[in-house]
Chains A and B, each alone.
Chain A
């Protein structure tokens, strides 16, 4: 029975991929992509994941998990696998897989789609499942602790520094995405502002009125958020209020920085926790709705399979398809960040080791599918419209007529009238140069939802999509700042002990301010950059995230070799090798390329030459020194990431070589075997059938 299903799946996948291959020079339907994706995931899950779990990881359902051994009814709680799946998916899914594919669509729909599928099935899903199992075997220890225990202090320190830096870059780039979505859009700004008091109301409800009634409070909150979307439309139509919410990007950046700082120092129950409940419900609901709508609508993909920008002259970000498509799409294919979640909260919920395939591999498959949907939403737009929205004014000029002329010249015809009609339909004054990915994703989502559920509501759907992305992003911003603060306090505690006390208020203020200043700086420079800033920050974030994935895969490879499984090491070594190559080549090009669109130092050099020659307009000359400093700083950071990456890889290699030569290595930190006594899981209530996320 299983074999027949496998053969049918393989056949369906082959037909779908064949369909994509044969339609290379005509528009294809999104259903081909969805079918190919679902088949590849199903095959990966059924065969590869099962093999890795059984042979490589030697998953043992008779072994008691930490949730069973330390069951305390609080954080260690044996949990049914579908519920743990929901927890884990909600934790790993963020705005990353929505933004990356949108930016990478400049190469055409094919490269990004293939990388999302292959990268997830062979890399990202394997990483998540492996780290989840390794941490489950070690009482839920964190990635940093595992690196320190299994490789040595160097690996542990590298993991800590890597995580702190990636957190800062992630928050900066996401803040920039939100700022660009709110810029001169009174509707979006009013709606996003309104989500803050809504979250506080939900927090007060949960704290004061009815503690712990999360479902009811969240439903009220989500209803209020939907009202905020409609209310934003009302503000937009009101002559006086409209002006009050029409902000330019610099004050908006100030608002995001101030918000991040306040959210970090307020008690979690007031803003952070309730916002996260709301974002979780919106996330699960919107992902399900989008999947249904894409299947019902099955839109045509209008972007070509490959564009001429694979040669490195892309307007959204510079750089050739190799290595930059693999850097731009991190979340959705391989995301190092997931290793932090897979080695934190989730292992304490695992009831049986047999569940790690569903929870680790399966959740990442679903996240990868979210990335596929983002790719579809970006590529169903007219390519001309897509580039007009996503290209900064620094590339195509600030005047609409100049922009459409340049973009049409690339072979993607678009007119000013077309853009005006679209902006009017979406309830915006303009959609030109709305970089960062969020507005174009929102236009794509609005056309999917609008054409499926009623076209009259396009502007409401657009702002619903913007609100959805912003809520996502702001909750990552809150949570990330807080995690960054804890890490910094941990580091500072070694310098001056009281600073390490996480509840000592002066230390909270001091370390939160440092973290916010860190990402606030990058956000500020991104805002004053005439090319939109995302073109510099996103690749940097991608390099950092892939570096973290490489650290996680190094830890996994080291542990596999140490536990006598060297013959299976390729399972983690191949994705590690690929990420190491991609990250190193990308970092090399970002540092030494003489093309100022790619090389950071070349860009700094060019700008300082212009500045010295006095050929810059007054406004650009005023910000140029900051941009030059930032480009040099980014080049140093890129170099630092690469150095950290290779330090960890070499440290892993050293440990593996010692083991293979029979020399002593650090003892395994695996908890000793204890037989599981938990009965096959009894549920508190009936559970949904498969696939009902």
Chain B
């Protein structure tokens, strides 16, 4: 049986991996953008859909993948 501290450490590790995957894939990009908007006070933020549409256009306008 796994003891409580080990389980807690495991849960933490899994959460960390998920957080990393979210960040690397761009899953949390909108949340980050909202945080930035709230701090910068640059007018009303874009809605979620528009933000992701713009993000994809930007990402695929330059060299973002390689051999």
Interface residues of A (CB under 8 A from B): 71-75, 77, 79-80, 82-83, 86-87, 90-96, 142, 170, 174, 206-207, 211-215, 218, 268-269, 272-273, 276-277, 280-281, 284, 331, 335, 337-338, 340-341, 344-345, 475-476, 479-480, 482-483, 486, 502, 545, 684-689, 692
CA distance A486 to B62 in the complex (A): 8
Q: Point out the residue from B16, B51, B56, B67 that lies within 8 Å of A331, measured CB to CB.
A: B67
Judging by beta carbons under 8 Å apart, are B22 and A215 in contact? Answer: yes
Judging by beta carbons under 8 Å apart, are A212 and B27 in contact? Answer: yes
CA distance A688 to B18 in the complex (A): 9
CA distance A607 to B40 in the complex (A): 68
User: Which of chain B's residues have a CB closer than 8 A to the CB of A688?
Assistant: 13, 16-17, 20
25 A-B pairs, CB-CB below 8 angstroms?
A86-B24, A90-B24, A94-B65, A95-B67, A170-B67, A207-B53, A211-B52, A215-B18, A215-B25, A273-B60, A280-B24, A331-B67, A344-B63, A344-B64, A345-B64, A476-B65, A476-B67, A479-B64, A545-B67, A684-B19, A684-B31, A685-B19, A686-B15, A686-B19, A687-B19
Q: Point out the residue from A170, A212, A280, A340 that lies within 8 Å of B29, measured CB to CB.
A: A212
CA distance A72 to B17 in the complex (A): 26
Judging by beta carbons under 8 Å apart, are A479 and B65 in contact? Answer: yes
Judging by beta carbons under 8 Å apart, are A213 and B27 in contact? Answer: yes
Judging by beta carbons under 8 Å apart, are B62 and A483 in contact? Answer: yes
User: Which of chain A's residues have a CB closer than 8 A to the CB of B30?
Assistant: 212
Chain A nearest CB from B37 CB (Å) reads: 6
Chain A nearest CB from B52 CB (Å) reads: 4
CA distance A211 to B19 in the complex (A): 19
- Count, A-B residue pairs, CB within 8 A: 146
Judging by beta carbons under 8 Å apart, are A345 and B25 in contact? Answer: no
With contacts A212-B27, A688-B17 taken as known, whether A337 is within 8 angstroms of B67 at the C-beta atoms is yes
Judging by beta carbons under 8 Å apart, are B63 and A340 in contact? Answer: yes
Judging by beta carbons under 8 Å apart, are B20 and A687 in contact? Answer: yes
Chain B nearest CB from A22 CB (Å) reads: 36
Range of interface residues on B (Cβ < 8 Å): 35 or more
Judging by beta carbons under 8 Å apart, are B36 and A268 in contact? Answer: no
Interface residues of B (CB under 8 A from A): 12-13, 15-33, 35-37, 40, 48-49, 51-67
Chain A nearest CB from B45 CB (Å) reads: 9
Judging by beta carbons under 8 Å apart, are B64 and A94 in contact? Answer: no
With contacts A82-B20, A273-B59, A684-B19 taken as known, whether A94 is within 8 angstroms of B25 at the C-beta atoms is no
Judging by beta carbons under 8 Å apart, are B60 and A73 in contact? Answer: no
Chain A nearest CB from B32 CB (Å) reads: 7
CA distance A480 to B31 in the complex (A): 30
Chain A nearest CB from B24 CB (Å) reads: 4
User: Which of chain B's residues have a CB closer than 8 A to the CB of A74?
Assistant: 33, 54-55, 58
CA distance A41 to B15 in the complex (A): 29
Q: Point out the residue from A71, A93, A94, A212 that lies within 8 Å of B51, measured CB to CB.
A: A212
CA distance A87 to B25 in the complex (A): 8
CA distance A211 to B56 in the complex (A): 12
Judging by beta carbons under 8 Å apart, are A338 and B32 in contact? Answer: no
Q: Point out the residue from B16, B23, B40, B65 that lies within 8 Å of A475, measured CB to CB.
A: B65
CA distance A686 to B62 in the complex (A): 31
Max chain A Cβ within 10 angstroms of own Cβ: one of B23, B33, B36, B37: B23
User: Which of chain A's residues have a CB closer than 8 A to the CB of B22?
Assistant: 214-215, 685
Q: Point out the residue from A90, A93, A345, A685 that lies within 8 Å of B62, measured CB to CB.
A: A345
Kindly list 17 other residue pairs between chains A and B, CB separation below 8 angstroms, not including A214-B26, A215-B21, A688-B16: A73-B36, A73-B40, A74-B55, A74-B58, A75-B58, A83-B20, A170-B67, A211-B48, A211-B52, A268-B57, A273-B59, A341-B63, A341-B66, A345-B59, A345-B63, A480-B65, A687-B20
**Closest B residue to A331 using CB positions:** B67
Judging by beta carbons under 8 Å apart, are A96 and B12 in contact? Answer: no
Judging by beta carbons under 8 Å apart, are A73 and B32 in contact? Answer: yes
CA distance A476 to B26 in the complex (A): 19
CA distance A635 to B59 in the complex (A): 36
Max chain A Cβ within 10 angstroms of own Cβ: one of B19, B25, B37, B40: B25
CA distance A324 to B24 in the complex (A): 36
CA distance A211 to B33 in the complex (A): 15
Q: Point out the residue from B27, B52, B66 that lies within 8 Å of A337, measured CB to CB.
A: B66
Judging by beta carbons under 8 Å apart, are B52 and A686 in contact? Answer: no
**Closest A residue to B23 using CB positions:** A83
Judging by beta carbons under 8 Å apart, are B53 and A269 in contact? Answer: yes
Chain B nearest CB from A430 CB (Å) reads: 29
**Closest B residue to A541 using CB positions:** B67
Chain A nearest CB from B23 CB (Å) reads: 4
Chain B nearest CB from A475 CB (Å) reads: 7
**Closest B residue to A203 using CB positions:** B56
Chain A nearest CB from B13 CB (Å) reads: 7
Chain A nearest CB from B55 CB (Å) reads: 7
